[in-house]
Structure 1
Amino acid sequence: MNRPTYYKALKWAFLLLKEKQLDEQAAEYILLERQKWTKTDLIFKERSEMPVAAWQQFQADVATLLTGQPAQYILGQAWFYDLPLKVTPATLIPRPETELLVAWLLESTPATKALRILDVGTGSGAIALAIKHELPASDVWASDISEAALAVAQENAQHLQLAIHFRQGDLLAAVDNEQFDIIISNPPYISRSETRVMDYSVKNFEPQQALYADNQGLALYQQLAQTVAAHLKPAGQLFLEFGYQQAASIREIYQQALPQATIQIKQDLAGWPRMARIKLPD
């Protein structure tokens, strides 16, 4: 193909990705990110002929997309809460559903109040960095069991000039005797039995340590439930993201472990129960 217009290049990419039953919109996403364009920019320029370098890069990107690799890993960057984050195969790609969890925390928190907040299983640092950006007066901590993931999170914090206390370790073991006003976590929650219905790109490219958990995906919630009270101040809150079929189990786990706590379940934009807020008494 000679140098096409942006419109024809995208049409070509869409057809190739559709044949492999891959996400067609990944081609548009990667093109916009490479060009640093908005969708409005593309509308104005889609009939323009692509420069040689841009066309060569796009062909290479589409070839990699056809292997199933997510666009964010190809670019080495993902967006979360309007923040650009470095991502690598050592970190999960941040999801829009997790933005809803952060938004719920922010809605529940006075912006001017200085709080101690911990993000457990921070990965790329997405949750911790979004919170620190929105609540600059708060003292934000982040932990992860993965040294490689923490290195990415620290790089993101430095790039965004946001001060976070990073700790390596398994769940709350990373923070010893520290106490917090709020703990938030999006831990691994997928059961191995669900592998056959997962997207190819997720199960083949994203870090398995950050995806899967034992006991039908509930093991880490059970572990947190047994240890979290010692790390929360009076009236402290725990915010959790979980799988769309796990709400009843999450409620049961935390009712048994923290009988005095108030438990609230919230739905995502698709109407699935995907988030919980567990609040200790004063």
Structure 2
Amino acid sequence: MSTAAELLRASSLPQLEARILLMHVLGWRRTELITRDREPLDADAVARFEALAARRLNGEPIVQLTGKREFFGLDFDVTPDVLIPRPETELLVETALGAIAGTPGARVLDLGTGTGAIAVSIAHARPDARVWAVDRSPCALEVARRNAANLLDANRVGGALGFVESDWTAKLDPSLLFEVIVSNPPYIASGDPHLEQGDLRFEPRGALTDEADGLSAIRTIVEKGPFLLANNGALWLEHGYDQADAARRLLQVRGFTDVRSMRDLAGIERCSGGVFTA
């Protein structure tokens, strides 16, 4: 029978990835992988590890193999139906929280929620806020609902945090007005070679690209956003590393003021937004 140490030595994966997969299969913590590395493993565990390792060698993302991703200090379920939450998107959450600071019971709209990472993180950080999470994919909304149920108090889900299946704002109650709208829309241009590389090959294409120039979803949200914003409400959008100028121009033309971009930890202008005065 193989031991953990033997499996790791024999694996063709980078050792960090092999350890992550083996801990996932065994349900062990990192310390156990060290202290119990010479224990014989049952054949089923070995077979499951080898199957996952083969899938990883074929390119499947570690996150989809383990089904978990840490974001904003919370552990989110991830499936192939949703975009994998990225660390840079935490900037959008921080910016949204800044926009509603000092506003008790603030109303927040997350367009294209996916895993629910943005909406759930905001709801977790601001228990008094009322958050709506929108996605056109029923499969994505199922994942988002599960994450909300796992990570928030039960009385928040369906009350202070609600879910709407809609193509952007189409099915939202027009009487709803929000203090802040946030979105991480598909912003990769259709011909971008990155779509055929790395983890992106295994993520839902519709969450990555608009099948156009990468700005069509942003245009739609900027155009529709003011109809759902409370007076002096804010709209913030994540975008590509080279799209900040275009995003600011769209916001300014639509009548937003205090238009600016925020830089992530790498110094990249990662999200842009502004305030709309009715």
- Normalising by structure 1, we get a TM-score of 0.86
- Alignment-derived partner of residue 51 in structure 1: 41
Q: How far 1:179 moved relative to its partner?
A: 1.0
Counterpart of 1:45, as a letter, is T
Shift of 1:146: 0.9
Secondary structure in structure 2 of the residue aligned to 1:173: coil
Q: Which residue, out of 167, 171, 183, partners 2:168?
A: 171
Cα 1:224–1:65 shift into 2, 3 Å: same
What is the aligned partner in structure 2 of residue 122 from structure 1? 113
Structure 1 residues 131 and 210, CA gap change in structure 2 (3 angstroms): same
Query: Which of 259, 262, 273 lines up with 1:263 in the alignment?
Result: 259
Counterpart of 2:200 (choices 178, 202, 205) is: 202
Structure 1 Cα separation of the partners of residues 20 and 103 of structure 2: 36
Q: Percent identity?
A: 34
3-state SS of the aligned residue for 1:102? helix
Q: What is the distance in 2 between the residues matched to 1:69 and 1:240? A: 28
Aligned-pair distance for 1:186? 0.2
Contact 2:190–2:212 at 8 Å: present in 1 too?
no
Aligned residues: 270
**Contact 1:190-1:211 at 8 Å conserved across structures:** yes
**Pair 1:270–1:156, CA change in 2 (3 A):** same
Q: 1:145 to 1:197 in 2, by over 3 A?
A: closer
Tell me the equivalent position of 1:216.
Answer: 213
Q: Whole-Å Cα distance in 1 between the matches of residues 212 and 49 of structure 2?
A: 43
Q: 2:8 aligns with which of 3, 7, 10?
A: 10
Q: Contact 1:191/1:214 (CA < 8 Å) preserved in 2?
A: yes
Mark the runs of 5 or more structure 1 residues left unpaired by the alignment. 19-23
Q: Going by fraction, where is helix more abundant, 1 or 2?
A: 1
Q: Root-mean-square deviation (CA), in Å?
A: 2.4
Determine helix, strand or coil for the equivalent of 1:172.
coil
**Structure 2 residue matching 1:217: 3-state secondary structure:** coil
Counterpart CA distance in 2 for 1:56 and 1:122 is 35
Letter in 1 for 2:189: S
What is the DSSP-based 3-state SS (H/G/I as helix, E as strand, rest coil) of the residue aligned with 1:88? coil
2:66 and 2:88 map into 1 onto residues whose CA distance is 21
Deviations 1:131-160 (A, max 9, x none): 111111111101011111112212222233
Quickly say closer, same or farther: Cα 1:68–1:182, change in 2 above 3 A.
same
**AA paired with 2:186?**
P
CA distance in 2, matches of 1:190, 1:138: 31
TM-superposition CA deviations, 1:210-231 (whole Å, max 9, x none): 1111442000111111111111
Q: Name 1:240's counterpart in structure 2.
A: 237
Query: Aligned residue for 1:155?
Result: 146
Inter-CA distance 147–47: structure 2 relative to 1 (3 Å threshold): closer
Residue 238 of structure 2 aligns with an amino acid whose one-letter code is E
Instruction: Report if aligned partners of 2:4, 2:41 keep a CA contact under 8 Å in 1.
Output: no
